[in-house]
Structure 1
Amino acid sequence: MAKKSNIKVKETNDYIVSWLKEYAKNAKVNGFVIGISGGIDSAVTSTLCAQTGLTTLCVEMPIHQHASQVSRGREHIAQLKKRFSNVKSVESDLTSVFETFQKVVLSIEDDKKVDLSLANTRARLRMTTLYYYAGIYGLLVAGTGNKVEDFGVGFYTKYGDGGVDLSPIADLMKSDVYALGEFLEIPVSIQNAAPTDGLFGDSRTDEEQLGASYDELEWAMTVSESNSSHDRFSERERKVFEIYSYLNAVNQHKIKPIPVCEIPEFYKKI
């Protein structure tokens, strides 16, 4: 089920950079702010933003972060600053903020629910931090979600990493993001690292959480969208398709726009 990117890499890169420049111009902002995680998505997104020539602020926001994620993020930022004079960086260690939050909220005995809620809290603290810098410097928060995460399985935090102003790579499959990463000469340590959301303070991977690799989920998303027959699925393919279908169904509240209760006209006074 290994997937290869089908995009024209250079043309796609140039198109996204042009799109970013035009959007920023119309929005009358100075550039972009991006949370740097040490992963391929944020590395590619920040490099795309840097190519616009506009201010590109890379923000590190560790919260009990695994050392390998921190080192990869710093390696990327150092490389980016050497390549682009418009790139700036700042580190905001949110560990103490997160620990204070833990002390003031009600806890329950269900460790699994508590752990997941706290993981999402990390993402929301980071979103708040990015918007703080965006407000100070007149920047847009650039999202780092790809198509599989945002519109396939909904693997992101609402109002966390999903709280953004624009999404440069959300129409790209994960294989496309890797193709762009290679083209943009993203550090090899990042290209080779197993994807992880970094929300649990350990080295658990996205695949361990999801039950399938991005190659497999990308395959399942393609099959689902094409309405292909499932009769010839192997045992593993059937399992992956079940995982994808389940996650796609339960995360529709993330994938679809927020519903609005529209009041019928006959309830309104004339």
Structure 2
Amino acid sequence: MNSINPEKTAAELTSFIKNAFDKAGFTKAVIGVSGGVDSATSHELTKRALGEKNVFPYFLPYEKIKPIVDQVVSLDPGMDRLRQGNIMARVRMTILFDQAKKRQALVVGTENKTEHILGYYTRFGDSASDIEPLRNLYKTQVYQLAKYLGIPDKILNKAPTAGLWEGQTDEGEFGFTYKDADEVLFQLYDLKKDNVEGVDPGVVEKVKSRVSRNAFKHSLPILPFDY
């Protein structure tokens, strides 16, 4: 797995954000922050690009959106927690885009390359954004960048979670670590290898299986001429 030059990457992404906003004709940004490393990193880069006064972070844990989520869940009392988690993600998306409209701003996303390839996101929920600064960085590379940017240790050391239910963690859902996932994905997608080396074969199959199951998410909406 390749390491990044965090200083160079920070400069490039800051410039990317600034240029993208200039081209789109916007000066303000709205971003959902969760207390995790991805949103903290994306938030810091956006502040550097646009200036802190032009960036509006929204922390939307379940407690804040409970009345809205509970109303939707009440329509189907037997709803499982995965469906409830998807509703939470879509409620957050609705709030962020509404606030962006109010402020004449763009919504800045927080998705990394690992999550994107694995399909680890809610369609039209946490995947919805106007700009994705971290999409080309694997999770382990985001940590390298975050450390350079001065993101606090309490965030760097926190177990990654989508905050969908109590005790939920990304790696607990996966059944493998981000470190292993990044190594597998890097060899398959960046090095174009047919066989992954240095990772337990069982883990490799788990990663490949998740990628395969969620591949359809990258081609939505499905159009007639796709077939």
Whether 2:55 is the aligned partner of 1:56: answer yes
Q: Please state how far the C-alpha of 1:22 moved relative to its aligned partner.
A: 0.7
Amino acid at match of 1:209: E
Q: Could you tell me which residue of structure 2 aligns to residue 206 of structure 1?
A: 170
Whether 2:181 is the aligned partner of 1:217: answer yes
Distance 2:194 2:183 in 1: 12
Choose which of 40, 44, 54 in structure 1 pairs with 2:41: 44
Choose which of 219, 223, 227 in structure 2 pairs with 1:260: 223
Choose which of 93, 96, 119 in structure 1 pairs with 2:67: 96
Choose which of 123, 126, 130 in structure 1 pairs with 2:92: 126
Q: Please state how far the C-alpha of 1:102 moved relative to its aligned partner.
A: 1.6
Contact 2:14 2:48 in 1 (8 A): yes
Equivalent residues in 2 for 1:238-253, closer than 5 Å: 238-253=201-216
Distance 2:39 2:159 in 1: 14
- 2:62 partner SS: coil
Q: Please state how far the C-alpha of 1:190 moved relative to its aligned partner.
A: 0.2
Aligned-pair Cα RMSD in Å: 1.9
Distance 1:169 1:222 in 2: 16
Alpha-carbon displacement from aligned partner over 1:173-224 (angstroms, at most 9, x marks no partner): 1111001111111111000111111011x12211100100100101111232
Aligned residues: 223
Which residues of structure 2 form unaligned runs of 5+?
A: none
Equivalent residues in 2 for 1:8-157, closer than 5 Å: 8-54=5-51, 55-64=54-63, 93-103=64-74, 105-108=75-78, 114-151=80-117, 153-157=118-122
Distance 2:107 2:150 in 1: 23
Choose which of 143, 152, 155 in structure 2 pairs with 1:190: 155
The alignment-based identity, stated in percent, is 28
Q: Please state how far the C-alpha of 1:261 moved relative to its aligned partner.
A: 1.4
Contact 1:173 1:218 in 2 (8 A): yes
Change (3 A) 1:223 1:51: same
- 1:172 partner SS: coil
Contact 1:16 1:168 in 2 (8 A): yes
Contact 1:36 1:59 in 2 (8 A): yes
Contact 2:27 2:50 in 1 (8 A): no
Contact 1:45 1:168 in 2 (8 A): yes
- 2:31 partner SS: strand
TM-score where L is the length of structure 1: 0.78
Amino acid at match of 1:203: G
TM-score where L is the length of structure 2: 0.92
Contact 2:160 2:170 in 1 (8 A): yes
